[in-house]
Amino acid sequence: MWNLNCHYCQAHLQAYIDGELSPKARRRVSQHLDRCPTCYNAYSQRRDFSRELQQAIPLVGQGGTPHFKQMWGAIQAELPQPQPRLYQARYGLVLLAFALMLIVPFTMGHRKISLTPPSPPAPELLAKYETPDVTEPVMIATIAASITVESEQKSATQLPTVPEPRHQESLRGMDGNTN
Amino acid sequence: MAEIEKIITRCLNGDQEGFEALYTQFASGIYRLCYSLLLHRQDAEDVTQETFVYAFKNMQRYDARRASFKTWLYTIAISRCRNQYRRKHPLLMDIAQLLHFDVPGPKSETPEGSLAEQNAKDAVETALASLSPRLREAVVLRYGHGLTYREIADVMDCPQKTAESRVRLAHEALRGLLQPVGVGLLDELLSG
């Protein structure tokens, strides 16, 4: 007699055959199959047909000889190709530039190129080119006065009409000369 | 790390031999899947090729935590097959056509025997063709490729219960289609 358990069993029969039921559900279906000949008969037929399908369906498509090599060729053509190694060319350019830096001075004037750093100047030369101490005010005034006199002489001979600049007057005052 | 993960890592580093290794490993299965769904050799080859091109170009999208590489490939293949269904005429055939198949004779090495085997294969193909695409996908993935309901659900992008009910419905439909043909049909096919 068809009952709720039969309904439950039929609904889960395929999953039971495929081994996809939870242990609890599996136990329930199994217990029902032991008691119900109708459901067991359905189970038996379905199980046999499932086995047949498991063997029959994988054979579909196996008879022909697909062009796997040709397909692979087409796939390869569409694959992203690995980038060429540009760094080798880059290193080549750097080497070329370095070689030019060495060769060009030889070709222009045949001058020797010294790769050693220049030697430091002798102590006497250092003393000669040492800058004088001009921080004292008296020295500054003397130098300023001499510059003023020279500039006045030049301006008197070359540009008599141009007025004297103010700072020269102040310098004159410092010197005590009232020309 | 699994072998397949190592190969995928090689592919991501641009190793062409890695791609070839993956193709060698999966091409046959993908072709069989495509053929079982499309039931047309040239279409199956085209879709197989498209599947691998897409997969290899988008390898960085594959996430091993979500699904196995096989499931990922199958998902791509199913998607491409669905595109193909839309482009082509529907595969549904007249069920009455099935009833005109010759019942195969006993297995033998004779040309008649191989012809009977071919007829049996054709009967299964025709029965598959008469299913709706979704039922065909479910039954092919389950019985043709041994995927679990969980994997079928992932590949078909549906709940697991839906995958389960599709397998059940497809199973019932195939029983209804193949059993009237003759008792010896599948026996012949399986013994071949």
Confidence at residue A170, expressed as pLDDT on a 0 to 100 scale: 52
pLDDT in tens, B39-57: 888 999 999 999 999 999 9
The one-letter amino acid code at B96 reads A
The one-letter amino acid code at B137 reads E
B96 — pLDDT class (breaks 50, 70, 90): very low
**Selected residues 116-145 of chain B with any CB under 8 Å from a CB in chain A:** 118, 121, 124-125, 128, 139-140, 142-145
- What 8-state DSSP symbol labels residue B59? G
**ipTM of the prediction:** 0.76
Confidence at residue A174, expressed as pLDDT on a 0 to 100 scale: 52
Which candidate from B48, B140, B168 shows the least CB-CB separation from A14? Answer: B168
- How far is CA B122 from each of CA A60, B98, B134, rounded to the nearest angstrom? 8, 10, 20
Nearest chain A residue (CA) to B178: A49
Residue pointed to by tokens 């008969």: A41
Confidence at residue A40, expressed as pLDDT on a 0 to 100 scale: 94
Task: Establish if B162 touches chain A: CB-CB under 8 angstroms.
Answer: no
Q: Where are the domains of chain B?
A: 3-87, 95-191
pTM of the model as a whole: 0.64
C-alpha–C-alpha distance, residues B42 and B38, integer Å: 10
Confidence at residue B101, expressed as pLDDT on a 0 to 100 scale: 45
Question: Is the pLDDT at A14 greater than 70, yes or no?
Answer: yes
Contact A76 B16 (CB under 8 A): yes
Chain B closest-CA separation from residue A59 CA (Å): 8
pLDDT in tens, B103-140: 344 444 566 666 766 777 788 888 999 999 999 999 99
Chain B closest-CA separation from residue A28 CA (Å): 18
pLDDT in tens, A54-113: 888 888 877 667 788 888 888 888 886 665 555 566 778 888 888 888 888 777 665 555
Q: Which tokens is A77 given?
A: 């053509």
When pLDDT is averaged across residues B65-70 and rounded to a whole number, the result is: 89
Return the CATH fold of B3-87: Rna Polymerase Sigma Factor; Chain: A (1.10.1740)
Q: Where are the domains of chain A?
A: 4-56, 137-175
Q: Identify which of B70, B97, B87 has the alpha carbon closest to the alpha carbon of residue B154.
A: B70
Partners of B44 on chain A (C-beta within 8 Å) are 61, 66
Task: Establish if A84 touches chain B: CB-CB under 8 angstroms.
Answer: no
When pLDDT is averaged across residues A128-153 and rounded to a whole number, the result is: 65
pLDDT in tens, A15-68: 999 999 999 999 999 999 999 999 999 999 999 999 888 888 888 877 667 788
The CA-to-CA distance between both ends of chain A, in Å, stands at: 147
Task: Establish if B32 touches chain A: CB-CB under 8 angstroms.
Answer: yes
C-alpha–C-alpha distance, residues B114 and B39, integer Å: 20
Partners of A71 on chain B (C-beta within 8 Å) are 27, 45, 48-49, 52
Confidence at residue A37, expressed as pLDDT on a 0 to 100 scale: 93
**H helix or E strand, kind and range, residue A125:** helix A123-128
Residue pointed to by tokens 């796939």: A75
CA angle B74–B77–B80, rounded 5-degree value: 150
- How far is CA B130 from each of CA B23, B96, B135, B141, B178, rounded to the nearest angstrom? 31, 10, 10, 17, 11
Confidence at residue A28, expressed as pLDDT on a 0 to 100 scale: 93
When pLDDT is averaged across residues A130-154 and rounded to a whole number, the result is: 65
pLDDT in tens, B132-160: 999 999 999 999 999 999 999 999 999 99
Q: Identify which of A20, A64, A63, A14 has the alpha carbon closest to the alpha carbon of residue A39.
A: A14
The one-letter amino acid code at A60 reads V
Partners of B36 on chain A (C-beta within 8 Å) are 57, 60-61
Q: Are B161 and B107 in contact (CB under 8 A)?
A: no
Which candidate from B34, B36, B39 shows the least CB-CB separation from A57? Answer: B36
Residues 6 or more apart whose CB falls under 8 angstroms from that of A164 comprise A152, A155
Q: Is B77 exposed, middle or buried (0-12, 13-18, 19+ CB in 10 A)?
A: buried
Return the CATH fold of B95-191: Arc Repressor Mutant, subunit A (1.10.10)
Indicate the average pLDDT of chain B: 82
